[in-house]
Amino acid sequence: MTLSISCRCGTSRIFASGIPVLRAYCHSQACRELFGGAVTALAAWRRSEVDLPAGARALACFTLGNRQSKRHFCAGCGDILFAEDALGFRLIPGQALANAGHGAVPERFAPIMHVNYSQRQFDVADNLPKYLERPGGPMYDGLRAPPRPPRSLEIPVSMQQVRALRGNAKIL
Ligand SMILES: [Zn+2]
Ligand SMILES: [Zn+2]
């Protein structure tokens, strides 16, 4: 079955055929750089199974600094239709899948696991399997140290600094 995905402005379109090799929430730094979110819902297809319609103009393409991954997006609206990872898979982000599903990711493409969970920026409370890296590898056991808190939550203020601040407040 072929999935037809268009961007938000309707000028770009791709087709994905066959069954994705991965449907996951990816917590990798690579996906943060590719897609711009802290965690990315995505489905990955083999390279040959994602293509543009015959005769269509190429999508805009940006190769990331590591020269191993590429972002393919619509020059009109900026929607990322797919990205290519270092292994040559074509990753279609949840936003593009949702465009194909009238606002919601079609159930047969929805994430069924978390991958690269060791790189997460926050914990996720759901019942999906959480692989520290690739699917099939070691899993998160819930007992490991939580991710580092965001910097704004760290309080590097000494009592001396607090006294200094109080002093300034008096002057004001
Ligand atoms: Zn567009
Ligand atoms: Zn990733």
Residues lining ion ligand 1 (Cβ < 5 A) are: 7, 9, 11-12, 74, 76-77
Q: Are 27 and 117 within 8 A, CB to CB?
A: yes
Q: Tell me the C-alpha to C-alpha distance, in Å, between residue 86 and each of 77, 91, 123, 127, 145.
A: 25, 11, 26, 29, 29
The CA 137 to ligand 1 mean position distance, Å, reads: 37
The CA 151 to ligand 2 mean position distance, Å, reads: 23
Q: What is the pLDDT of residue 157?
A: 59
Q: What is the pLDDT of residue 42?
A: 97
Q: What is the pLDDT of residue 115?
A: 97
Q: What is the pLDDT of residue 103?
A: 87
Q: What is the pLDDT of residue 68?
A: 82
**Angstrom distance (rounded) from CA 96 to CA 156:** 42
Q: Is the dihedral of CA 84, 88, 94, 99 positive or negative?
A: positive
The CA 58 to ligand 2 mean position distance, Å, reads: 24
The CA 154 to ligand 2 mean position distance, Å, reads: 27
Confidence of residue 144 (pLDDT cuts 50, 70, 90): low
Ligand number nearest CA of 10 is 1
Q: What is the pLDDT of residue 150?
A: 64
Highest mean pLDDT among 23-32, 150-159, 163-172: 23-32
Mean pLDDT of 17-41: 95
Q: What is the pLDDT of residue 66?
A: 72
| Domain 3-171 fold | 2.170.150
The CA 27 to ligand 2 mean position distance, Å, reads: 6
Q: Residue 171 above 50 pLDDT?
A: no
Q: What is the pLDDT of residue 141?
A: 86
Ligand number nearest CA of 32 is 2
The CA 44 to ligand 2 mean position distance, Å, reads: 10
pLDDT per residue over 47-87, tens digit each? 999 999 999 989 999 998 777 899 999 999 999 999 998 88
pLDDT per residue over 93-142, tens digit each? 999 999 888 889 999 999 999 999 999 999 999 999 999 999 999 999 87
